[in-house]
Structure 1
Amino acid sequence: MKLTKYTHACVRLEKESGVLVLDPGTFSESAEALAGADAVLVTHEHQDHLDTKAVVDALTGNQDLALYAPGSVAAQLRGEAAGAAGRIHTVEPGSSFQVAGFEIRSFGGQHALIHPQIPMVANIGYLVDGNVYHPGDSFIIPDGLSVKTLLVPLHAPWSKSAEVVDFVIGVRAPRAFQIHDGLLNEIGLGIIEGHVQRIGAKYGTEYRHLAARESVEV
């Protein structure tokens, strides 16, 4: 499977003839990531994970494109792209489904707490082919499963470095790459990645940084 990292939280997965895009947000090269995609998975409604215009344009322009998202996101997009309503699906945590030749399992259900005065929203983490895990804005660890490739949210208003490192330790995937790094400058990125790489290695996780648009086989 080919994994391409885009800026911040967006990744594109390709295998055989299937193309799957996760979290094409406004911080990312969303239109580029969505080109020729068969399916889109959205973890939650925040704009850095969902570029509504780019997604609606893709749904309108590609009659075969399907989208999967939490209920609130699915309802919003059905209103924005009425002609594509039948291709927009609600995902509940703890579910399994197939799309574009990929096996998907969903986890979590709730966004990590930012502040008690900021409303909580739904968040779904996705495990693709028992291999790549994108948690969205959460540190939910898939229960009873071994993750092969972990996408690590490095920095966010809802997290601290200790939680990032503990998430990597808890999942113990053989390999890990960064997501949710769009708010970091080069100095901050180096500090956090240093912690993840050094401590993660003690628990069997090899961490590697991917540049925007860089691809790797997983």
Structure 2
Amino acid sequence: MLTAFAAQGLGFEQDRFKTPEGKDLVITFVKHGSLMLEYDGHVLLVDPVSDYADYSKFPKADLILITHEHHDHLDPKAIAATEKESTLIIVNPASQEKLGKGIAMKNGDRRSPVSYLNIEAVPAYNTTPGRDQFHPRGRDNGYILTLGGMRVYIAGDTEDIPEMKQLKNIDIAFLPVNQPYTMTPVQAARAAEMIKPRILYPYHYGETKIQDLKDLLKKDKHIDVRIRQLQ
């Protein structure tokens, strides 16, 4: 069962899920590629950036996840505002070098840094000729998070790469939709057909006509496309 409502005190939409293990997973849709996940009393931030929110008003993070080192995904100020002594920071190697700290994961790595969470780092890159300079193959990460038996795929900045065919049993997927940096709606629809998530959230979509993606997938009754305010 899912409900959507304004995040209390923050002004962002949230969706709430019941995981297979019976605990709630709450996702807050901040903006662009920035998300907050709350599970069993723990707070996880994805690509927090100060331009999109006042992170001094957010709860302190137990874990911060960075997909890559671009300024709209890696922001030391937002990390500092939400970090506490015990915060774990998971990054791709280039972000570790730029930030000067964090646990680096490269494509293919798996970690269970805490008892309630498993993390898989998966490829995220451009394939369109002339655009691979934005996100070259092998540098950046997408992540699959498993919390309470629920698998959440956060794609990072990527196009519809063939490695997506290997992703299995995805409950919730976040796919970026803003060419030239990530995907067109057509590419995102192809990606969704490869991944087959139960629920798809387009994110990182800027000025893209995101309804186009929902229209492209309307015949697929197995994928529930849900559009949230992430501009």
If the TM-score is normalised by the length of the shorter chain, which range does it land in?
Answer: 0.7 to 0.9
Instruction: Please give the root-mean-square deviation of Cα atoms over the aligned residues, in Å.
Output: 2.5
The one of 137, 141, 161 equivalent to 2:185 is 161
User: SS of the counterpart of 1:64?
Assistant: coil
2:30 is matched with: 6
Tell me if structure 2 keeps the 8 A contact 1:103–1:128: yes
Pairs within 5 Å for 1:11-30: 11-29=35-53
The letter for the 2-side match of 1:207 is V
Pair 1:111–1:27, CA change in 2 (3 A): farther
2:87 is matched with: 65
2:143 is matched with: 126
Shift in Å, 1:149? 0.5
Pairs within 5 Å for 1:132-143: 132-138=152-158, 139-140=160-161, 141=164, 143=166
Matched, 1:97 2:116: no
Structure 1, unmatched stretches of 5+, are: 79-84, 214-218
CA deviation profile, 1:177-198 (whole Å, cap 9, x unmatched):
12102x21xxx43xx32x3223
Pairs within 5 Å for 1:26-105: 26-29=50-53, 31=55, 35-59=59-83, 62-78=84-100, 85=101, 88-100=102-114, 101-105=116-120
CA deviation profile, 1:84-115 (whole Å, cap 9, x unmatched):
x4xx100011121123421111111x532573
The letter for the 1-side match of 2:26 is K
The letter for the 2-side match of 1:103 is N
Matched, 1:210 2:228: yes
1:216 is matched with: none
Structure 2, unmatched stretches of 5+, are: 1-24
Higher helix share: 1
CA deviation profile, 1:17-44 (whole Å, cap 9, x unmatched):
2111111135422615853210011111
Tell me if structure 1 keeps the 8 A contact 2:165–2:194: no
Shift in Å, 1:12? 0.9
Tell me if structure 1 keeps the 8 A contact 2:204–2:230: no
User: SS of the counterpart of 1:170?
Assistant: helix
User: SS of the counterpart of 1:106?
Assistant: strand
Pair 1:27–1:164, CA change in 2 (3 A): farther
The letter for the 2-side match of 1:152 is L
- TM-score, normalisation: structure 2: 0.75
The letter for the 1-side match of 2:188 is V
The one of 183, 195, 198 equivalent to 1:171 is 195
User: SS of the counterpart of 1:166?
Assistant: helix
Shift in Å, 1:199? 2.8
User: SS of the counterpart of 1:6?
Assistant: strand
The letter for the 2-side match of 1:111 is Y
Cα separation, 1, equivalents of 2:194 and 2:179: 19
Tell me if structure 2 keeps the 8 A contact 1:168–1:196: no
The letter for the 2-side match of 1:210 is R
The one of 189, 193, 197 equivalent to 2:214 is 197
Cα separation, 2, equivalents of 1:28 and 1:36: 17
